Structure 1
Amino acid sequence: MNTHEHESAPDRLGEYLIGKKIGAGGMGSVYLATNIHTDQQVAIKILPGALAREPGFVERFHREIEALKKMHNQYVIEFYDSGVENDIYYYVMEYVEGETLTNRLRREKRIDWKTVVNISIQICSALKASHDAGIIHRDLKPSNLILKDDDTVKLADFGVAQLFATEKLTVTGGIIGTAEYMSPEQAEGKRVTRQSDLYSLGAVMYVMLTGRPPFSGKTMLAIIQKQMYGQFDKPGRYVDDLPIWLEEIVCKLLEKDPQKRFPDAYVLSRRLQEVLNKYEMSTSDDTYALSGTGDPSVTPTLVQSASEPQAGAGTLMQGLMRAQLESESTGSKLSQIFDNTYFLLGMLAILIAGGYFWFQERELTPQEMFSQGRQILQQPENPEWYTARDKFLLPLLDTDPERWEEDVQPLLERIKVYEIRSRAGMTAKRRSRTGPQNEAQRFMLLSQHYLETGNLAQAEVILTALVDILNENPNDTDNTKQDEMRDLARQMLNELQNDSSRTAERFIMLTQSMANADALVNEKKFDEAARVWKALIVLYEHDQAEVARDMVRKARQKLETLPELKQAAQTETDSQKENTNND
């Protein structure tokens, strides 16, 4: 077996023989493999050794596995098995014979709108299963969608998915994803929701319909800026036969404000199905609108089609109005009572009062209390966090500490840090009004800046030194404030050292970019790949982390071999031309 081709992948893992490489991403490479007992072909994802040695990546790999285990949907890649062998972490999943949506678009440029709707409805089903399991995909894009010959879709790669239940993942933020399909809130590093995945689906629908993403640019930063502030061309500009209903759906999905998008994938799927229904009705020669009485003796009213003369519109409206008046005049006594305005207002008041007292009197279950508290903490820092602590979290510990200690204590630690930060003037709101009040606060603000910009090593150096100096140099004039500063520095240091997911998140863009550069080489886009490698060297050449050093070394090696790759590609092209001429 050619080990160079497989980039140090082993010949066998567990009961699986490793074959050719079929994909790569930010969290590892995917290979075709065969079960030695059943001869079943599977896909196996392997976490590279360099990533496995970095804090956080193994944890993220296990979370991806847990995410797939929760997925039970015909449009999501099925999980089979996982393991670790000779320090190599891997998991096994369904192998789907087909092509990625990326390859389909590369070949066909655009996809007809009816097929787009059918594909999108399937993706909605996959996203609903993911969201119902508490998982946001975060990286929905054409290369993560596999199409079979019959246009059945399979959603793959939950490598950068965020689990709602994992607090550390939701609070660390960070820009993870693919710029062309990334929601504005994700581009800003804000908390993502299920509407963020719907935005990505809108961008995927846009590129299927038009052959181009809604926003593009020469650099990732340029695209992100457009995602946050730019305006896209409506897809109807590029597609002549696009129904207005479908265009409205795509534009709604691409709203900057998540609240203006559809609430969830299920509602979206219903709207997409309505597009097909409306189109069929609008193009049918005999389209009927039933009266809704359920009486088979009632003749349905013919709805005039667009091809018929407009003269019948007045007659149609007259018939509808007459039917409505007759219905009102012959209504039952009960219907007349319910048509009384005062009666309806009285019933509304009773319902409101009853609902109010029901909600007031009903005692929340422990799980509801925990959910309420955690939901408040998903908001940016604000005094409402204290309400979450006092009303929901502390009562849980008082009633059943053994059950809730593990879940509640990390949340209380976050509130404690916020409380100390508030007293020390370290919250964003207070920082914007005043500068640092003393040297200790100045260094705290500096460490906070390094944390927010991803320079974790420098933040750790400052916090460690600050804890030491505040321990050794007591200030008798302001002992309380100094203690608060020391406690805050210690809390931030502990959170940084224990939060391995920050480290993993930090290098996702690096590993994804390397995979993207390899894909560009396969497409013979050598200059574009070279720009990616050079950019990664500039960004990470001074980073001391092993994964960064390894990737920078690989980028330099690839740049050195680039002339040979170009020459080989040119030789192959010349040979193909010569064979064509000979034929």
Structure 2
Amino acid sequence: MNTHEHESAPDRLGEYLIGKKIGAGGMGSVYLATNVHTDQVVAIKILPSSLAREAGFVERFHREIEALKKMHNPYVIEFYDSGVENDIYYYVMEYVDGETLTKRLRRDKRIDWKTVIEISIQICSALKAAHDAGIIHRDLKPSNLMLKDDGTVKLADFGVAQLFATEKLTVTGGIIGTAEYMSPEQAEGKRVSRQSDLYSLGAVMYVMLTGKPPFSGKTMLAIIQKQKYGQFDRPGRYVDDLPVWLEEIVCQLLEKDPQKRFPDAYVLSRRLQEVLNKYEMSTSEDTYALSGTSDVSVTPTVVQSASDQEAGSGTLMQGLMRAQLEADSTGSKLSQLFDNTFFLLGILALLVLGGYFWFQERELTKYEMFEKAQQILKQPENPEWYTARDKYLLPLLESPPTELEEKIKKSLNQINTYELRSKAGMTARRRLRSGQENEPRRFIMLAQHYLEAGNLVQAEIILSALVDALQGDTERKEMRDVAELMLNALREDATRTAQRYVMLTQSMSNADTLFKEKKYKEAADVWKALIVLYGQDPNEVAQKQIDKAKRNLANLPELNQAEDAPTETQKAEPENE
């Protein structure tokens, strides 16, 4: 525990009387305070003296103050004052009487999509103010968003904000932020941009809509790996009435490539407003007025939610009628087209044909079904793999094309292995929560950690040893079964087993080539490195290669001899298979 957690706040700082503690974070604590002259209730953030003595904290605290000073926006916490007293740095800001978005989500689990849009538009305004001031927030998350009783949102905590003009920070910023809401480029320690904050906003919108972030995991490293390479479930999978427009916006915000996201917060806010406008237009029975904004096209638009696509044809016709009425009221050239009978007949024919092809899903061929499954399986392991199995592969197995049969079975084995491993992990976690089997569970969770990190060799070593250690232990039979299940699943995964020894095989071949080129020291270095990396691997394939590397090393004379004058032993070829 850090020493500053034990430090108590002074009774008074400057002209502010300090009250109860209302928040805490890595950059100090926040207290309720009162101005002795005006009786104004404020919030005061204090950097303890213990942190003030540590390198970088005072500079970072001042950056947060400078960031707040630059911004004037109704959706950003307002800055009032700052100072230092007895080595205690502090700044005074607006006190928001409300709750954090985190607290709201804990209570309500999810937020309806219209409210999500209203909250997000306010956040866009706050981000635009920050970006216009040359500031990237870098830590946008539910706990940094305050919700007032009147629905107003306040963006807080610029403690890790990055100023565009601060060159030193750009270079040395590193990975700072919260993993669940961190953009892929930030997770890699790369330069962040406005689009990085927009990615975080997309993650916040996702958690508001679905009740969970797009990526989660047991460790920060696991989450960061998913942010960089993983694929999230589309939010419409969890929200039945979600308009497809809003779903597409969230998915675009969560693009891995920053250039594929929206260009800035202002454009995003307009797109969010369009969703509300289009939804109101599509559901209204007594109005035909289109949105007055230049961004909303008069072109009729089909409104479809994730669970209500059958209303598409009727909605499209309503849109056409509204467009016609709007055109009549303005006297545009569009009205002349609608007066043309042939044009109207053509539109009707297109509607009929388009509606038919829109709602009739073409039956996929067996090869297309297999290809769909393979596209899903190219993603990192995730529950969507079950869709590939249930929707495409199992139906195919009933009467598969001969040339695909083995490939289908191989894919099913791959999915079944993932399922076994997932179930084993869940069983282990249930045992963990029960507080029983402390020692075996520790090793199982350690093995699970290595599996998620891709260190299959170490995971296999731990699981194999645990299975042997619990042999005949009736009290811990269940934990042994879990370990054995995970171990079998790992060993049965032939594809992974083959892939994990590609480097070993290639490196052995490279060492042989180096030896033939009389680069004896380089060859020896490769063999020694492989012994370190794979020496403890219990797999027979690996041990065979490691034994060969050891024999080749044993046959080498002292390497301090001149490499251009090999001895008789050196002239011999290294042992081959």
TM-score, length basis structure 2: 0.52
Which residue type is aligned with residue 283 of structure 2? T
Q: Secondary structure at the match of 2:73?
A: coil
For the residues of structure 2 that align with 1:283 and 1:102, how far apart are their CA atoms? Answer: 32
Matches within 5 A, 1:226-375: 226-288=226-288, 306=311
Matches within 5 A, 1:41-52: 41-52=41-52
Matches within 5 A, 1:117-516: 117-288=117-288, 306=311
Who is 2:31 aligned against?
A: 31
For the residues of structure 1 that align with 2:180 and 2:217, how far apart are their CA atoms? Answer: 9
Question: Kindly tell me: are residues 30 and 301 of structure 1, through their superposed partners in 2, closer, same or farther at Cα, counting changes over 3 Å?
Answer: closer
Who is 2:88 aligned against?
A: 88
Q: Secondary structure at the match of 1:30?
A: strand
Who is 1:72 aligned against?
A: 72
Which residue type is aligned with residue 231 of structure 2? Q
CA contact (8 A) 1:164 1:170 kept: yes
CA shift, 1:266, in A, is 0.2
Question: Kindly tell me: are residues 25 and 285 of structure 1, through their superposed partners in 2, closer, same or farther at Cα, counting changes over 3 Å?
Answer: same
Who is 1:58 aligned against?
A: 58
CA shift, 1:239, in A, is 0.5
For the residues of structure 1 that align with 2:274 and 2:129, how far apart are their CA atoms? Answer: 21
Q: Secondary structure at the match of 1:147?
A: strand
CA shift, 1:324, in A, is 5.2
CA shift, 1:55, in A, is 1.9
CA deviation string 1:434-460 (max 9, x = no partner) = xxxxxxxxxxxxxxxxxxxxxxxxxxx
Question: Kindly tell me: are residues 35 and 325 of structure 1, through their superposed partners in 2, closer, same or farther at Cα, counting changes over 3 Å?
Answer: closer
Question: Kindly tell me: are residues 324 and 38 of structure 1, through their superposed partners in 2, closer, same or farther at Cα, counting changes over 3 Å?
Answer: closer
Structure 1: stretches of 5+ with no match in the other structure: 293-299, 330-525, 536-583
CA shift, 1:10, in A, is 1.1
For the residues of structure 2 that align with 1:187 and 1:309, how far apart are their CA atoms? Answer: 46
Question: Kindly tell me: are residues 43 and 310 of structure 1, through their superposed partners in 2, closer, same or farther at Cα, counting changes over 3 Å?
Answer: closer
Which residue type is aligned with residue 145 of structure 1? L
CA deviation string 1:524-582 (max 9, x = no partner) = xx99xxx9xxx9xxxxxxxxxxxxxxxxxxxxxxxxxxxxxxxxxxxxxxxxxxxxxxx
CA deviation string 1:83-137 (max 9, x = no partner) = 0000100000000000000000000000111000000000000000000000000
CA shift, 1:327, in A, is 7.2
Question: Kindly tell me: are residues 326 and 175 of structure 1, through their superposed partners in 2, closer, same or farther at Cα, counting changes over 3 Å?
Answer: same
Q: Secondary structure at the match of 1:19?
A: strand
CA contact (8 A) 1:288 1:302 kept: no
Higher relative contact order (CA 8 A, sep 6+): 1
For the residues of structure 2 that align with 1:126 and 1:311, how far apart are their CA atoms? Answer: 36
Question: Kindly tell me: are residues 309 and 72 of structure 1, through their superposed partners in 2, closer, same or farther at Cα, counting changes over 3 Å?
Answer: closer
Who is 2:113 aligned against?
A: 113
Who is 1:555 aligned against?
A: none
Which residue type is aligned with residue 18 of structure 1? I
CA shift, 1:24, in A, is 1.3
Which residue type is aligned with residue 76 of structure 2? V
For the residues of structure 2 that align with 1:314 and 1:109, how far apart are their CA atoms? Answer: 35
CA contact (8 A) 1:195 1:263 kept: yes
CA shift, 1:288, in A, is 2.8
CA shift, 1:25, in A, is 1.5
Q: Secondary structure at the match of 2:169?
A: helix
CA contact (8 A) 1:205 1:250 kept: yes
For the residues of structure 2 that align with 1:74 and 1:136, how far apart are their CA atoms? Answer: 18
For the residues of structure 2 that align with 1:9 and 1:97, how far apart are their CA atoms? Answer: 21
Question: Kindly tell me: are residues 323 and 42 of structure 1, through their superposed partners in 2, closer, same or farther at Cα, counting changes over 3 Å?
Answer: closer
Q: Does 1:19 align with 2:19?
A: yes
Question: Kindly tell me: are residues 311 and 254 of structure 1, through their superposed partners in 2, closer, same or farther at Cα, counting changes over 3 Å?
Answer: closer
CA deviation string 1:29-84 (max 9, x = no partner) = 11111111111111101112222111221111111111100010000000000000
CA deviation string 1:482-526 (max 9, x = no partner) = xxxxxxxxxxxxxxxxxxxxxxxxxxxxxxxxxxxxxxxxxxxx9
TM-score, length basis structure 1: 0.51
Question: Kindly tell me: are residues 106 and 52 of structure 1, through their superposed partners in 2, closer, same or farther at Cα, counting changes over 3 Å?
Answer: same
For the residues of structure 1 that align with 2:37 and 2:228, how far apart are their CA atoms? Answer: 51
For the residues of structure 1 that align with 2:36 and 2:323, how far apart are their CA atoms? Answer: 75
Which residue type is aligned with residue 253 of structure 1? L
Q: Secondary structure at the match of 2:43?
A: strand
Using the TM superposition, name which of 33-42 and 221-230 deviates more: 33-42
Question: Kindly tell me: are residues 301 and 201 of structure 1, through their superposed partners in 2, closer, same or farther at Cα, counting changes over 3 Å?
Answer: closer
Aligned residues: CA RMSD: 3.8
For the residues of structure 2 that align with 1:213 and 1:39, how far apart are their CA atoms? Answer: 41
For the residues of structure 1 that align with 2:42 and 2:323, how far apart are their CA atoms? Answer: 65
Which residue type is aligned with residue 230 of structure 2? G
Question: Kindly tell me: are residues 108 and 190 of structure 1, through their superposed partners in 2, closer, same or farther at Cα, counting changes over 3 Å?
Answer: same
Question: Kindly tell me: are residues 316 and 125 of structure 1, through their superposed partners in 2, closer, same or farther at Cα, counting changes over 3 Å?
Answer: closer
Question: Kindly tell me: are residues 6 and 16 of structure 1, through their superposed partners in 2, closer, same or farther at Cα, counting changes over 3 Å?
Answer: farther
Which residue type is aligned with residue 99 of structure 1? E
Question: Kindly tell me: are residues 325 and 244 of structure 1, through their superposed partners in 2, closer, same or farther at Cα, counting changes over 3 Å?
Answer: closer
CA deviation string 1:265-291 (max 9, x = no partner) = 000000000000000001011453679
Which residue type is aligned with residue 262 of structure 2? F
Which residue type is aligned with residue 22 of structure 2? I
Question: Kindly tell me: are residues 156 and 285 of structure 1, through their superposed partners in 2, closer, same or farther at Cα, counting changes over 3 Å?
Answer: same
Q: Secondary structure at the match of 1:270?
A: helix
Question: Kindly tell me: are residues 109 and 317 of structure 1, through their superposed partners in 2, closer, same or farther at Cα, counting changes over 3 Å?
Answer: closer
Identity of counterpart residues, as a percentage? 84
Q: Secondary structure at the match of 2:248?
A: helix
For the residues of structure 1 that align with 2:93 and 2:40, how far apart are their CA atoms? Answer: 11
Q: Secondary structure at the match of 1:189?
A: coil
Question: Which has the higher Rg, Structure 1 or Structure 2?
Answer: 2
CA shift, 1:161, in A, is 0.2
CA contact (8 A) 1:175 1:189 kept: yes
CA shift, 1:325, in A, is 9.9
For the residues of structure 1 that align with 2:107 and 2:337, how far apart are their CA atoms? Answer: 58
Q: Secondary structure at the match of 1:288?
A: coil
Question: Kindly tell me: are residues 147 and 312 of structure 1, through their superposed partners in 2, closer, same or farther at Cα, counting changes over 3 Å?
Answer: closer
CA shift, 1:227, in A, is 0.4
Question: Kindly tell me: are residues 251 and 53 of structure 1, through their superposed partners in 2, closer, same or farther at Cα, counting changes over 3 Å?
Answer: same
CA deviation string 1:384-407 (max 9, x = no partner) = xxxxxxxxxxxxxxxxxxxxxxxx
CA contact (8 A) 2:289 2:322 kept: no
Question: Kindly tell me: are residues 100 and 304 of structure 1, through their superposed partners in 2, closer, same or farther at Cα, counting changes over 3 Å?
Answer: closer
CA shift, 1:13, in A, is 0.7
CA contact (8 A) 2:300 2:319 kept: no
For the residues of structure 2 that align with 1:301 and 1:7, how far apart are their CA atoms? Answer: 63
Residues matched between the structures, number:
326
